[in-house]
């Protein structure tokens, strides 16, 4: 009899735990439902190796449990770069920095005014320099290149009004660095301790929550 009581007690504790978890994760009747709503604002990817990655954010909430987000930013500028063989001469370079992110936003906890969302995303960023090609390392930062990164994080979103929300985010950024990556100046050193800088680098950088700034990588969305 005692063994059966212990078994029933364990089952009861298990069912109670499952019930508490369901009560925590399943939204209540007043939970914010953004189904089929469209939003525009400012956001950034969690992984930010080469650039800050900020850009215009476009969000579409497919249903209560999943939204798609597109973030893109472009910066263009004109540069007169000195000829490495003759400093009195310059080479004209038209440079465009760009970043594009596609992310899925998955509400984990929902309430009337605040949702906690899981973030899974992919970012491509790079530089197009209109055919400019430098051979010296000090000028290679102007060359074409690209990098890729993956976002895994959490994103609390506060719905200030029916049409405006603020959010922060934190998480893990996985940066896939290509040999032709832009702005790669890792400041490496060899076995003798001699430091050097090289724009030719490839590998992976994993950022565990170190990407958060004072405002928590804050952004906003205006909802239609």
- pLDDT tens, position by position, for the chain (224 residues)? 544 544 445 556 655 655 554 454 455 556 678 899 999 999 988 876 545 568 999 999 999 899 999 999 998 877 777 766 666 777 777 778 888 999 999 999 888 899 999 999 999 888 777 766 666 655 565 567 778 889 999 999 999 999 999 999 988 888 887 766 544 444 444 555 554 445 456 677 787 776 666 677 889 999 99
Q: Residue 70 maps to which CATH number?
A: 2.40.160
In a domain, 14, yes or no: no
Number of domains the chain is built from: 1
In a domain, 101, yes or no: yes
Identify any residues that bridge with 221 across adjacent strands, giving them in sequence order: 41, 165
Supply 153's token pair.
Answer: 């994080």
In a domain, 9, yes or no: no
pLDDT of residue 88: 73
In a domain, 161, yes or no: yes
Kindly state the DSSP code that residue 136 receives in the 8-state scheme: S
Q: Are strands 170-177 and 114-128 parallel, antiparallel or unpaired?
A: unpaired
In a domain, 173, yes or no: yes
CA 140 to chain CA centroid, Å, is: 26
In a domain, 109, yes or no: yes
In a domain, 146, yes or no: yes
C-alpha–C-alpha distance, residues 97 and 13, integer Å: 56
pLDDT of residue 180: 61
pLDDT of residue 2: 46
Domain region containing 83:
34-223
Supply 140's token pair.
Answer: 């290679």
Can you give the pTM of this predicted structure?
A: 0.73
């Amino acid at each position: 009899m005692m063994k059966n009581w212990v078994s029933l007690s364990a089952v009861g504790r298990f069912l109670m735990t499952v019930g508490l978890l369901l009560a925590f994760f399943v939204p209540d009747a007043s939970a914010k439902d953004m189904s089929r709503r469209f939003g525009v604002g400012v956001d950034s990817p969690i992984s930010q190796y080469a650039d800050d990655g900020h850009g215009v954010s476009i969000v579409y909430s497919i249903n209560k449990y999943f939204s798609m987000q597109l973030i893109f930013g472009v910066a263009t500028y004109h540069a007169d770069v000195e000829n490495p063989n003759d400093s009195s001469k310059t080479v004209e370079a038209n440079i465009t920095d760009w970043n594009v992110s596609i992310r899925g936003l998955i509400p984990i906890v929902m309430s009337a005014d605040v949702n906690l969302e899981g973030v899974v995303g992919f970012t491509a960023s790079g530089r197009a320099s209109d055919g400019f090609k430098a051979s010296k390392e000090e000028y290679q930062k102007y060359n074409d290149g690209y990098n890729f990164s993956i976002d895994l994080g959490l994103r609390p979103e506060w719905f200030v009004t029916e049409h405006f929300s603020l959010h922060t985010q934190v998480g893990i950024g996985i940066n896939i660095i290509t040999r032709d990556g832009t702005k790669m100046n890792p400041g490496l050193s060899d076995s003798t301790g001699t430091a050097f800088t090289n724009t030719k680098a490839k590998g992976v950088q994993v950022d565990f929550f170190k990407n958060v700034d004072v405002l928590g990588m804050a952004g906003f969305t205006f909802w239609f």
